[in-house]
Amino acid sequence: MAYPPAARSSPPRQPSVKVILDSADVQRVVDRISHQILEKTQGAADTVLLGIPTRGAPLARRLAARISTFEAVDIPVGVLDITLYRDDLRRHATRAVGPTQVPTGGIDGKRVILVDDVLFSGRTVRAALDALNDVGRPASVQLAVLVDRGHRELPIRADYVGKNIPTSLAESVKVTLAETDGVDEVKLYGGATA
């Protein structure tokens, strides 16, 4: 009895990876956002930067440092932990709760700029707005992001965007920063190559 030849298996498909921003690009984007903040806030008067962990916190510190370099303005920086305000706590494992660090002088009556690495559905920003209400009452709230990849589920828009990256829902954007990951880079993962 003859057996049919065994089917050849093709090698597994690997997801494609594309570097969108390298280290020099990330630095240029941070510089540009810093300049935009200075322009839109009349020299960062009464402005506080609050970074959303994990990568929004070092980005906020970088923005403050660049603003100080450009205009000799020391802008207060803090960290806003949103873990307990997320709407997906029951569905997904979450990271440990971190500290919220409000700068000396607080946020009441100030312009608060929330800083994050990637804007996607808008749910992280919604959680940040809820957390912010428990910290104080700012005069206004703005949003600065390194990358906006689209696909909003909520009516949220960034005031300062480093790079707009049109993506499909099958793709993902990964930001790495020297402070947290050892290298500054933005990569787009998605699709598969044979």
Q: Could you give the CA distance from residue 60 to residue 64 in angstroms, rounded to a whole number?
A: 6
Tens digits of per-residue pLDDT, 93-137?
Answer: 666 788 899 999 999 999 999 999 999 999 999 999 999 999 999
Q: How far is it between the farthest Cα atoms of the chain?
A: 86
Q: Which pLDDT band holds residue 88 (cuts at 50, 70, 90)?
A: confident
pLDDT in the model for residue 95: 67
Residue 63, judged by CB atoms within 10 A of its CB (0-12, 13-18, 19+), counts as: buried
pLDDT in the model for residue 194: 47
Tens digits of per-residue pLDDT, 12-49?
Answer: 667 799 999 999 999 999 999 999 999 999 999 999 99
Mean local confidence (pLDDT), 1-6: 58
Angstrom CA distances, 15 to 10, 12, 158, 169, stand at 15, 10, 29, 14
Structure tokens at 87: 């709407």
Q: Which of 24-33, 93-102, 147-156, 166-175 has the lowest mean pLDDT?
A: 93-102
Q: Which pLDDT band holds residue 191 (cuts at 50, 70, 90)?
A: low
At residue 68, does pLDDT exceed 70? yes
Residue among 166, 187, 171, 184 nearest 29 (CA): 184
Residue 138, judged by CB atoms within 10 A of its CB (0-12, 13-18, 19+), counts as: buried
Q: Could you give the CA distance from residue 177 to residue 154 in angstroms, rounded to a whole number?
A: 27
Collapsing DSSP to helix, strand or coil, 158 comes out as coil
pTM over 0.85: yes
The identity of residue 186, as a single letter, is V
Q: Could you give the CA distance from residue 162 to residue 177 in angstroms, rounded to a whole number?
A: 14
At residue 91, does pLDDT exceed 80? no
